[in-house]
Structure 1
């Protein structure tokens, strides 16, 4: 009975020893696993990552080849047939075109200048100074007048007195001598005056008279006491370019010729 009681204890003890041994091996495996996942191993991995990032990037080398090295042409020429542009394609560009405005300026005078040499001589004998001609310079609003005076002395001055408000105010403009215009008996002077737009509806009224100063005396010319009065007008109209008309004519024409079709 005692022997029977002792065997199970040995078996139990053997079993217990085996379990303890198994536990011991399992604990060693856990320790090895913990060592494998320890921070020391991760630190080495980080070190390798930093080393890989510090390496310089690879250099990319590009190779250039020219077309003539492969027997090709360096210049490529393309030919296009002349075709008629449809109205849908041409209309947007035509709408963007700005049609220029052409401004014409002209004067209408309430006086007449001498129409002949005899008439000019007659007026010069009466007042020693006379307006010979006046007009606008082409394409501008600048008045240009020519004045003829009797050569009474060497030193002389010619002034043009202007007013734009019916003599409520006025200003004097000095005329300039025209070189080489003297015929010993008379001299010629010229003046210019530029008017600034916009003009009035019926035109800008300009009124003036002439004053001739010499050592002998001062002489005036004022259109027989009525002054020289003129109006400067502005006329604006739209001018279409000629190219626009040619394009329109070209679009309206259709060819009456038909291409010959050859059959084999």
Structure 2
């Protein structure tokens, strides 16, 4: 009987050992499965794209602006370069604005009409009006109607009377039975800086002159900007 008991006890111990071994294998399998699942989840989560987010510097405790200071030498170079660039721009702009214009260096004779008529009756001829347009001197002359046949010329010099030319006036109209009006125009040479002229009236074999009381009528070129005007009567009828 004792031997049977020992056999049963041995069988029971072997069964318990087998059950323990089975439980260990089962636990190991569960642990391996859980670890594999966990790694898979981590792999999937790491493969996903991270969502983009926007944050501002002040929410992170940083400054919204950044100030950099330069030493004096750098500032001098910048200011000198800017000053040079500004000067060049001003020179270009000034060269575009400034143009050469011709101005009358005498008052319009007919501005003071009483003096104009006194001069006309005294010397039988007088410049009436003059102006410059598109580099042409244009004007009119009044003469006393001494006879039907008459001629009016402008004697003009571009070199201070070293040489001179004559430009014929053209009859325009009769102001009344005693006064005739002649018009004139001629081109001013391109490089001319100054011209002088006087008026000659030929009638009945005689010459009558209007030379602005011995001063001549003078027109001169001047560099100016649009909108500039001369002071006085010389500004009138200059275009």
Q: Which has the higher helix share?
A: 2
TM-score, structure 1 normalization:
0.45
TM-score, structure 2 normalization:
0.50
